[in-house]
A = this chain, B = another copy of it.
């Protein structure tokens, strides 16, 4: 066996793979498509065969370990296409895979439970050892990722892995408050989370636009605040068990005192304004907020938090606390009087008072309070956990003051950032780098956030996956695991491998494109869809022709398009190779093939624009794609002939590229930057990168 340093070692590994299976650059696979990459890995020679006589032996008393083994075998069947009878659980010492784990997991999964494991695969069999059941679960997911088809059938390579997470809190926030997300989608996303070793589902259960949990104590919350779209308590309990069986904690969030219009539809007396209230349909920050000055508010919250504390077993209870604009407070004379009487100078003071009261209620019911940046006030105890949407500096400041925290700034999936951007965000960046070790311990990890304004059940998977796998790696793998190319190589494989877990980020995109092109060949539409991205940041609303609401259908190209175009990314990489003089055989041919396809795509798309209102808006975009194809091919011709184009042509083409990069039908044509580079190179100009146009990036 050869010890491999994790980060640079991955490149060495790729070279080794290249020796074994000679492939062109673009086909080069990471032989080990592991994500997150383990803390330590040694690769040996040979492989363990996985066929229909595969057997599993489980040593350990925890019933959850046996359940994990059953889930694992089912996942292995999904991955390989094997049948229910193909794999067996055995007591034999000859088992293909043996699991040893002595310590049972806690009845309620705790923050910081040991998740480490050791996995040894030899040609004769594999051994997985873990101090606790959670570690065994993580190791089983690694084993699943090792399995692949080979010339000799399915197999796992001979390998030795020692692994442990960098951070104990690795989460994903899902927001059914804005658009309801049914239970089966929550479950399949829990499968995906387990696959990449995430361990917290942060369930954002109430918003201006909806209250999503059945409350037996206050039934008007879900009856009047949800449009009928809520989780029953039985469903919640079922999801909690489902998550627990996969090593995932569930932290509920009930956002208070703002983001709470839906509560007030049934219980207007909770609000600071007069009411009546109806469920909010628009997106944004709104005025309604709870009244922190009435004792009845705290009586309500005591009973409510008590009920929810019984429903959600996790130690942590998220109270939101963000974005209170204070307008209802300022407009309410009684509240103003209360503030004066209690020496509360401003709205922040008043919210601080509210949080103090709320914290005591949460603590009374045995829970630890968590909230967004805004709740951080010196009057609150050091036990609370701060979730930062403001950034690593804010997180570091909190840690210095003695508060635990986690990072979400930089991991907002709704902003449609490329995976590399999220991958580059580290909880120890900025101010955190200078923290003492003790202070650093207070930074628990991070959470990817899938805010719900523009996600439906149909496309939520495609906003979460595969990008979240890279965030999971950031939070699990050693800090030095930062090779972006390696990440993308593995991400492509993980994306399609998550299909076997039932995630629909790939399948539903096909479905959506087919709907747009109903009854017709959708290949021209797919070619266009492959190279566009939604606008970035919060610019979608600014680019909309009419204000989007909770009733606006999410069935257009912008909703089907991937947050990051893999095709455009590969095209740019090919162009960079070409203009840097590092071309490989086939580089130019591949560039020409892409450009030609784009140039010729408009004819096919035009047929669809005439028949479908959902395609009609794409006409100008499609013409731009065609024009960019032509432009790029001409630039290549100049490069091939070794002559510069006329200046007029160059400036015309560069203007075309600028125009083509402006959003149309709200989406961005992501091949523009690559074509600009080809034009600049053909003209002998300095090569520049194109920033996302201002109106499409906030």
* Chain A residues near B (Cβ < 8 Å): 21, 27, 29, 33, 52, 79-86, 148-154, 179-180, 227, 229, 281, 456, 458, 493, 496, 499-500, 507, 510-512, 514-516, 518-521, 550-555, 559, 607, 610-614, 616
State which of B80, B496, B555 has its C-beta within 8 Å of the C-beta of A81. B555
Given contacts A27-B520, A80-B553, A149-B611, 10 further A-B contacts (CB under 8 A): A29-B519, A79-B515, A83-B553, A84-B227, A85-B281, A149-B612, A149-B613, A149-B614, A496-B514, A500-B515
Contact B81–A29 (Cβ < 8 Å): no
Asked if A149 meets B516 with Cβ closer than 8 Å, knowing A80-B553, A552-B52, the reply is yes
Asked if A554 meets B511 with Cβ closer than 8 Å, knowing A152-B613, A519-B33, the reply is no
| A180 contact set on B, CB distance < 8 A | 84
| A229 contact set on B, CB distance < 8 A | 84
Query: With the chains together, A514 CA to B512 CA distance in Å?
Result: 20
Shortest A191–chain B CB gap in Å is 14
State which of B52, B152, B511 has its C-beta within 8 Å of the C-beta of A500. B511
Contact A21–B551 (Cβ < 8 Å): no
Query: With the chains together, A456 CA to B81 CA distance in Å?
Result: 9
Which of A81, A521, A552 has most B Cβ within 10 Å? A81
Contact B612–A150 (Cβ < 8 Å): yes
Contact A514–B499 (Cβ < 8 Å): yes
Asked if A553 meets B493 with Cβ closer than 8 Å, knowing A81-B512, A500-B511, A515-B80, the reply is no
Query: With the chains together, A550 CA to B456 CA distance in Å?
Result: 40
7 pairs from A and B in contact (CB 8 Å cutoff): A80-B515, A81-B512, A81-B559, A83-B179, A86-B551, A86-B553, A151-B610
State which of B86, B520, B554, B613 has its C-beta within 8 Å of the C-beta of A153. B613
Asked if A82 meets B553 with Cβ closer than 8 Å, knowing A514-B499, A516-B149, A519-B29, the reply is yes
Query: With the chains together, A33 CA to B519 CA distance in Å?
Result: 9
Shortest A234–chain B CB gap in Å is 13
Contact A148–B518 (Cβ < 8 Å): yes
Query: With the chains together, A251 CA to B557 CA distance in Å?
Result: 44
Shortest A410–chain B CB gap in Å is 29
Which of A79, A85, A180, A553 has most B Cβ within 10 Å? A85
A27 to B, closest residue via Cβ:
B520
State which of B83, B518, B521 has its C-beta within 8 Å of the C-beta of A456. B83
Shortest A200–chain B CB gap in Å is 27
Contact A81–B149 (Cβ < 8 Å): no
A229 to B, closest residue via Cβ:
B84
Query: With the chains together, A550 CA to B29 CA distance in Å?
Result: 34
Shortest A585–chain B CB gap in Å is 15
| A27 contact set on B, CB distance < 8 A | 520-521, 607
Query: With the chains together, A680 CA to B152 CA distance in Å?
Result: 42
Contact B499–A83 (Cβ < 8 Å): no
| A616 contact set on B, CB distance < 8 A | 151
Query: With the chains together, A282 CA to B149 CA distance in Å?
Result: 27
Shortest A65–chain B CB gap in Å is 18
Contact A148–B551 (Cβ < 8 Å): no
Query: With the chains together, A180 CA to B84 CA distance in Å?
Result: 8
Contact B85–A227 (Cβ < 8 Å): yes
Query: With the chains together, A152 CA to B616 CA distance in Å?
Result: 10
Asked if A458 meets B610 with Cβ closer than 8 Å, knowing A52-B552, A519-B493, the reply is no
| A519 contact set on B, CB distance < 8 A | 29, 33, 148, 493
| A82 contact set on B, CB distance < 8 A | 553, 555
Contact B52–A553 (Cβ < 8 Å): yes
Contact B613–A551 (Cβ < 8 Å): no
A609 to B, closest residue via Cβ:
B151
State which of B153, B512, B607, B612 has its C-beta within 8 Å of the C-beta of A151. B612
Query: With the chains together, A84 CA to B154 CA distance in Å?
Result: 43
Query: With the chains together, A613 CA to B551 CA distance in Å?
Result: 50
Contact B227–A458 (Cβ < 8 Å): no
| A520 contact set on B, CB distance < 8 A | 27, 29
Asked if A613 meets B179 with Cβ closer than 8 Å, knowing A81-B515, A519-B33, the reply is no
| A611 contact set on B, CB distance < 8 A | 21, 149-151
Contact B83–A551 (Cβ < 8 Å): yes
Shortest A83–chain B CB gap in Å is 6
Closest 8 CB pairs of A and B: A81-B555, A153-B613, A149-B612, A29-B519, A149-B518, A507-B507, A82-B553, A85-B551
Shortest A182–chain B CB gap in Å is 10
Which of A281, A500, A507 has most B Cβ within 10 Å? A507
Contact A52–B551 (Cβ < 8 Å): yes
| A153 contact set on B, CB distance < 8 A | 613
| A456 contact set on B, CB distance < 8 A | 81, 83
Which of A27, A607, A613 has most B Cβ within 10 Å? A613
Contact A150–B613 (Cβ < 8 Å): yes
| A499 contact set on B, CB distance < 8 A | 511, 514
Query: With the chains together, A154 CA to B229 CA distance in Å?
Result: 25
Query: With the chains together, A417 CA to B512 CA distance in Å?
Result: 31
Asked if A458 meets B81 with Cβ closer than 8 Å, knowing A27-B521, A33-B519, A52-B552, the reply is yes
Shortest A457–chain B CB gap in Å is 9
Contact B553–A81 (Cβ < 8 Å): yes
A70 to B, closest residue via Cβ:
B228
Query: With the chains together, A28 CA to B447 CA distance in Å?
Result: 50
Shortest A118–chain B CB gap in Å is 26
A79 to B, closest residue via Cβ:
B515
Shortest A187–chain B CB gap in Å is 11
Query: With the chains together, A21 CA to B610 CA distance in Å?
Result: 10
Shortest A140–chain B CB gap in Å is 19
| A33 contact set on B, CB distance < 8 A | 519
| A514 contact set on B, CB distance < 8 A | 496, 499
| A150 contact set on B, CB distance < 8 A | 611-613
Query: With the chains together, A86 CA to B551 CA distance in Å?
Result: 5
Query: With the chains together, A510 CA to B610 CA distance in Å?
Result: 29
A615 to B, closest residue via Cβ:
B149
Asked if A149 meets B515 with Cβ closer than 8 Å, knowing A227-B84, A458-B81, A611-B21, the reply is yes
A610 to B, closest residue via Cβ:
B151
A152 to B, closest residue via Cβ:
B613
